[in-house]
Amino acid sequence: MLGLGLIAGGVWSGQNLNPLPIDASTNAPIYDELFKVLFTIGIILFVGMLGLVVFSLIKFRRRPGDSGDGIALEGNLPLEILWTAVPAVVVLFVGLYSYDIYERMGGMQPLSHGGHNEKSIEVEQKIWGGIGSKETSFTNSSDKTISPLPVEVTAMQFAFLFHYPKGDIISGELHVPSGQPVTMKMISKDVIHAFWVPEFRLKQDVIPGQTTILNFTPTKPGRYPIICAELCGPYHGGMRSTVVVEDPDSYEAWFKQNAKEEETPLQS
């Protein structure tokens, strides 16, 4: 009875309490799904243990004048097997489930960036960040699929710079059209930084000496903070930028205004 109530309460709070910021990339709703499950399991476990401890302290407290010992119970094999097996199953479930989430986010796909192996990224392929090979270039193949928008990110103490190879734009803000996959090649000029957009639920370190790659597809127009999440020096807390997700028309306008050469922004 109590247990059922606990589980119901856990499920309810998992569904209804959402402490996360808005979800503005294709990754984010998948993330939030995982979060809900973990939150539910966590609440049930925590409240359950809290209840057990508080209950035991009250129920089994020493009454005044009683100087005897408790029951000489040294263990109970079935019980111990139970609380080895149940957590093992829960953990296994969580692990498999998060593997599934990971795969749906595109984590298991081999990293490719643009046209290195003449393979462009499809919309559904939400390939994640990681260390890319340095020789990857931005020349895109002429595949039928929507080819991702390539951006080169340079992180330095204490700013991000965004370079759009198409149009040769250099910007301090990241402008991306909503619904368009973006593939970023990130390098650092000095120390380790990290590129984090909480609304995208994505983070990737920017590592000196090693190019990292981060791919995402923004979904909701808006201005979101880009935050450096790796201690990089005194002004680390001030190392911020903004990602502007806009509908394709305003993106096009922004692009036209800033492009060095005449070029269409999205097709290659």
Partner 1 sequence: MTIVSSTPNNQEPKSLQPKGWLKYFSFSLDHKVIGIQYLVCGFLFYLIGGALASAIRIELTSPVSDFMPRDIYNQVLTLHGTIMIFLWIVPVVNGAFGNYLIPFYVGARDMAFPRLNAVAFWLIPPAGLMLISSYFITGAAESGWTAYPPLSITTPAAGQIIWILSVLLLGGSSIFGGINFIATILKLRRPNLKLMQLPMYCWAMLGTSILVVLSTPVLAGTLILLSFDIVAHTGFFNPTLGGNVIVYQHLFWFYSHPAVYIMVLPAFGLVSEVLPVHCRKPLFGYTTMVYSIMAIVVLGLVVWAHHMFTSGTPPWMRLFFTIATSFIAVPTGIKFFNWVATLWGGKISLNSAVLFSCGFIINFVLGGITGVALAQVPFDIHVHDTYFVVAHFHYIVYGGSVFVIFSSIYHWYPKFTGRMLDETLGRIHFVITFIGFNLCFAPQHWLGLNGMPRRVAEYDPQFAFVNQLSSVGALLMAISTLPFLWNVISSAFKGPKAGDNPWEALTPEWLTSSPPPVENWDGEAPLVVEPYGYGKKEDQQHSEVTDQSNDFEKTMQKK
Question: Segment 228-267, which members bind partner 1 (CB under 8 A)?
Answer: 228-238
What is the spatial distance between Cα 150 and Cα 114, in angstroms, rounded to a whole number? 7
Degrees to nearest 5, angle at CA 30 with 96 and 192:
90
- CB-CB contact of 142 with 118 (8 Å): no
Binding positions for Cu ion, 225-264, rule CB under 5 A: 228, 232, 236, 239
Instruction: Give the 3-state DSSP-derived string for 70-138, with helices as H, strands as E and coil as C.
Output: CCCCCCCHHHHHHHHHHHHHHHHHHHHHHHHHHHHCCCCCCCCCCCCCCCCCCCCCCCCCEECCCCCCC
What is the spatial distance between Cα 223 and Cα 198, in angstroms, rounded to a whole number? 12
Of these partners, Cu ion, partner 1, none, which one is at the site of residue 238 (CB under 5 to 8 Å by kind)? partner 1
Instruction: Please identify, using beta-carbon distances, which residue of 37 and 266 lies nearer to partner 1.
Output: 37
190 lies in the binding site for partner 1 (CB under 8 A):
yes
Instruction: Please identify, using beta-carbon distances, which residue of 240 and 256 lies nearer to partner 1.
Output: 240
Q: With CB under 8 A, what is the number of residues at the site for partner 1? A: 81
How many other CB atoms are there within 10 angstroms of residue 107's CB atom?
Answer: 17
Instruction: Please identify, using beta-carbon distances, which residue of 8 and 17 lies nearer to partner 1.
Output: 17
Paired sense of beta strands 182-188 and 149-156, if any: parallel
Q: How far is the CB of 43 from Cu ion (least distance, A)?
A: 23
Binding positions for partner 1, 3-42, rule CB under 8 A: 19-21, 30-31, 34-35, 38, 41-42
Q: How far is the CB of 2 from partner 1 (least distance, A)?
A: 15
186 lies in the binding site for Cu ion (CB under 5 A):
no
Instruction: Please identify, using beta-carbon distances, which residue of 59 and 144 lies nearer to partner 1.
Output: 59
101 lies in the binding site for partner 1 (CB under 8 A):
yes
Strand, helix or coil for residue 27: helix
Which member of 83, 249, 257, 261 binds partner 1 (CB under 8 A)?
Answer: 83
Binding positions for Cu ion, 21-60, rule CB under 5 A: none
What is the spatial distance between Cα 241 and Cα 53, in angstroms, rounded to a whole number? 46
